[in-house]
Amino acid sequence: MNHRERVRAVLHDQAYDRLPLVSFGYWPETLDKWAAQGHIAKEDADGYRREEDNGPADRRVMASLGFDFNWCSTVGGNNYLMPLFTEETLETKPDGSRVIRNVEGLIEKVNDHIISIPAFVGTSLTGREAWETLYLPKLTYSEKRVDEALFRKLAQESDKREMPLGLYVGSLYGRIRNMLGVEELSYLAMDDEDLYREIIDVVGNLCYRVAEKVLSYGVEFDYAHYWEDICFKNGPLINPAVFRELVAPHYARISKLLQSNGIDITSVDCDGCVDLLVPIWLESGVNTMFPIEVGTWNASIAPWREKYGKTLRGVGGMDKRVFALDKAAVDAEIERLKPLVDLGGYIPCPDHRIPPDADFAITAYYCQAFRKAFG
Amino acid sequence: MSLFQEISENLQKGKAKDVKELVQKAIDEGYPAKEILDEGLLSGMGIIGEKFKNNEVFVPEVLVAARAMNMGAALLKPLLVKDGVKSCGKACIGTVKGDLHDIGKNLVKMMLEGKGLEVIDLGTDVAPETFVETAINENCQIICLSALLTTTMSGMEDVVKAAQAAGIRDQVKIMVGGAPLTDAFCKKIGADAYSPDAASAAEIAVQYCTV
């Protein structure tokens, strides 16, 4: 079997020869550290920054560690702001930090010497006028959003491909959060509900049309994939009832489109405690949870499987914190994963990108131990 | 429905403008500022905190409720000062050195204020000495530390050590929270309390201030 066949078999609860060894990439700083220690080439650390997941640099790093492929091996059309805003520095503080307007129009505090999520300061999406003049034109569908040559080529290669390929469908709420920030988005829902609903609908419709166009070229995708990140350690950043009413219909519509094109595995990348959103996703055709964060809220596929049955699949759920520990910790983690793998429909994968405290040799040891345990 | 109930219920719905108007009405009708604060604003925020803890309301509802509370509290503040009313406690809060995230920190701040505590927000990427100097200069009973990342949470121990070095460790409680935090980590670094969520943090803080 090749990796493509393995993924399809595992997620459809069919027989397979061995589990694929899946990666979720790294923090760029992790690769900088490993390059400085001589474990990987500096060009690959730099290349990963440029190419991101599953590019040539990522593939070389994965090969040196022992991973088979990156779950975020997806392609898609441009279903977001096009073009992005131009990043600009609005203010430089005495401590070296900067207030910037980022490419999504968000105003945030960054510090080039600090590895962290930026601090929210404000948004350019300040109301209807800003929406209609600055954002709406960037969220309008056109055929330029889809690279015809790429998808024609992928369609021709569909039969030969040995690696799984996902269709990146977009983000129906996470990117909206990115444009406004959690606080401003929450205020908007209260202060201008019509605009709030309109933004959700515009983004949902854009994602649908881009996916529809991509699928028209006949590429045989193995799964579809969303990025959301709309939860924190204690639960969702949106009221689930609002999510069900306003966002879920867009998932359901896109799922119908995907299913009519033979795609029955749809994963969603959402950090944090997703428990309350899982049933809404499942009802809307999103059936594969990723990355199942162990570190922040002790997530596991087991209770979901018990509650929702085999319709729910999972990729993730491997506690990446062991990469900073020792071989015994890795061995214990592999033992913890064994009964979860036995549930079927589940592929372990680090529960987030590998952080800078990870040790290269221990990460490589995880790959060896995984192979030994799972074939 | 009493005026205080109206304030509380509108606050819970996040209707900031209505809360502001109702608080002004209560002031105009001669109610003491402390009573408006306790029976109207803090009562409403307390209900929101409890519902948040029980997953009956979510982050957006907390944010709009806190905004409504702040708008009402702004009208009361000069009157509370004039009446010599003091807050039930004082805390400084910030995200530790090297960490820029602030959503969790802001939620805790809102919940603490919702319990009637005065909170000094030191922002993000805060040095250990800044926490300690603020606690000393502002007579804070509590230092609240937030971290999102496994790579920055070790900075919390630096604050504990800085408080020890400054000789204030027995005068100030140090509370920690954030995605990668655990009670075991809290104990390991010698902090006083770990809280898994913002509402619980506020309850612990109130206990510390009333002891």
What does the pLDDT read at residue B126?
94
**How far is the alpha carbon of A17 from chain B, nearest alpha carbon, in Å?**
36
Averaged pLDDT, B136-161: 93
Q: Which among B25, B31, B29 is positioned nearest to B10, based on CA atoms?
A: B25
Using a pLDDT cut of 70, give the percent of chain B over it.
100
Query: Out of B14, B64, B151, whose CB is closest to A355?
Result: B151
d(CA A184, CA A177): 9
Q: Which pLDDT band, with edges at 50, 70 and 90, does A371 fall under?
A: very high
Helix (H) or strand (E) holding B177: strand B173-177
User: Residue A91 burial by CB count (10 A; 0-12/13-18/19+): exposed, middle or buried?
Assistant: exposed
Whether residues B148 and A116 touch (CB distance < 8 A) is answered with yes
Q: Are B96 and B152 in contact (CB under 8 A)?
A: yes
What does the pLDDT read at residue B181?
87
Whether residues A114 and B197 touch (CB distance < 8 A) is answered with no
Look up tokens 């999504």; give the residue.
Answer: A104
Helix, strand, coil abundance in chain A, percent, nearest 5: 50, 15, 35
Q: Cα–Cα distances in Å, from B95 out to A181, B98, B108?
A: 18, 8, 11
d(CA B125, CA B96): 5
Whether residues A116 and B104 touch (CB distance < 8 A) is answered with no
Look up tokens 């319990």; give the residue.
Answer: B115
What does the pLDDT read at residue A333?
98
What does the pLDDT read at residue B8?
97
Helix (H) or strand (E) holding A362: helix A360-374
Contact residues, chain A, for B104 at CB < 8 Å: 232
Q: Which residues of A touch B (CB under 8 A)?
A: 95, 97, 109-111, 114-120, 182-183, 185-187, 189-190, 232-240, 242, 272, 276, 295-296, 321, 324, 355-357
**How far is the alpha carbon of A312 from chain B, nearest alpha carbon, in Å?**
23
Q: Which pLDDT band, with edges at 50, 70 and 90, does B33 fall under?
A: very high
Averaged pLDDT, B52-60: 93
Mutation choice for B interface testing from A93, A111, A117 by most B CBs within 10 A: A117
Cα B20–chain centre separation: 21
Averaged pLDDT, A296-306: 93
A115, pLDDT greater than 70: no
B10, pLDDT greater than 90: yes
Contact residues, chain B, for A235 at CB < 8 Å: 55, 58-59
| B96 DSSP β-pair partners | B126
CATH class, domain B3-82, is: mainly alpha
| Cα Rg, chain A, nearest whole Å | 21
d(CA A353, CA A269): 12
Mutation choice for B interface testing from A33, A176, A190, A237 by most B CBs within 10 A: A190
Task: Give the total residue count for chain A.
Answer: 375
Q: Cα–Cα distances in Å, from A97 out to A14, A56, B110, B198?
A: 52, 33, 25, 28
Tell me the whole-structure pTM to 2 decimals: 0.91
Main-chain phi, psi angles of A82, to 5 degrees: -135, 115
What does the pLDDT read at residue B103?
82
Q: Are A167 and A221 in contact (CB under 8 A)?
A: yes
Virtual torsion, Cα A77, A82, A86, A90, nearest 10 deg: -110
What does the pLDDT read at residue A110?
86
Report helix angle B43-53 to B103-114, nearest 10.
Answer: 130
B14, pLDDT greater than 80: yes
Averaged pLDDT, A306-312: 97
A324, pLDDT greater than 90: yes
A157-175: pLDDT as tens digits: 999 999 999 999 999 999 9
CATH class, domain A3-81+124-374, is: alpha beta
A210-269: pLDDT as tens digits: 999 999 999 999 999 999 999 998 899 999 999 999 999 999 999 999 999 999 999 999
Between B102 and A293, the more confident residue is A293
Residue spans in chain A of domains classed CATH 3.20.20.210: 3-81+124-374
B152, pLDDT greater than 80: yes
Number of neighbouring beta carbons within 10 Å of residue B193: 20
Averaged pLDDT, A107-136: 88
Q: Which pLDDT band, with edges at 50, 70 and 90, does A116 fall under?
A: low
What does the pLDDT read at residue B163?
97
Main-chain phi, psi angles of B175, to 5 degrees: -110, 145
Contact residues, chain B, for A189 at CB < 8 Å: 60, 64
Domain boundaries, chain B: 3-82, 90-210
A186, pLDDT greater than 80: yes
A308, pLDDT greater than 90: yes
Q: Which pLDDT band, with edges at 50, 70 and 90, does B180 fall under?
A: confident
Contact residues, chain A, for B63 at CB < 8 Å: 182-183, 186-187
A131, pLDDT greater than 90: yes
Q: Hey, is A142 helix, strand or coil? A: coil
In chain A, count of helices (H) and strands (E)?
16, 15
**How far is the alpha carbon of B59 from chain A, nearest alpha carbon, in Å?**
5
Which residues have CB under 8 Å from B203's CB, separation 6+? B115
Look up tokens 């050590």; give the residue.
Answer: B161
**How far is the alpha carbon of A214 from chain B, nearest alpha carbon, in Å?**
35
A271: nearest CA partner in chain B: B179
CA angle A130, A136, A137 (to 5 degrees): 110
d(CA B165, CA B155): 15
Contact residues, chain A, for B57 at CB < 8 Å: 239
Per-residue burial over A20-46, b if 16 or more Cβ lie within 10 Å, else e, is bbbbbbbbbebbbbbbeeebbbeebbe
Whether residues B103 and A321 touch (CB distance < 8 A) is answered with no
CATH number of B90-210: 3.40.50.280
Mutation choice for A interface testing from B99, B124, B152 by most A CBs within 10 A: B124
Q: Which pLDDT band, with edges at 50, 70 and 90, does B65 fall under?
A: very high
What does the pLDDT read at residue A111?
82
**How far is the alpha carbon of B63 from chain A, nearest alpha carbon, in Å?**
7
B199: nearest CA partner in chain A: A234
Averaged pLDDT, A290-310: 94
Q: Are B135 and B92 in contact (CB under 8 A)?
A: yes
d(CA B142, CA B172): 5
Q: Which among B127, B111, B58 is positioned nearest to A243, based on CA atoms?
A: B58
Q: State chain B's mean pLDDT as an integer.
A: 93
Query: Out of A114, A232, A276, whose CB is closest to B125?
Result: A114
What does the pLDDT read at residue A233?
86
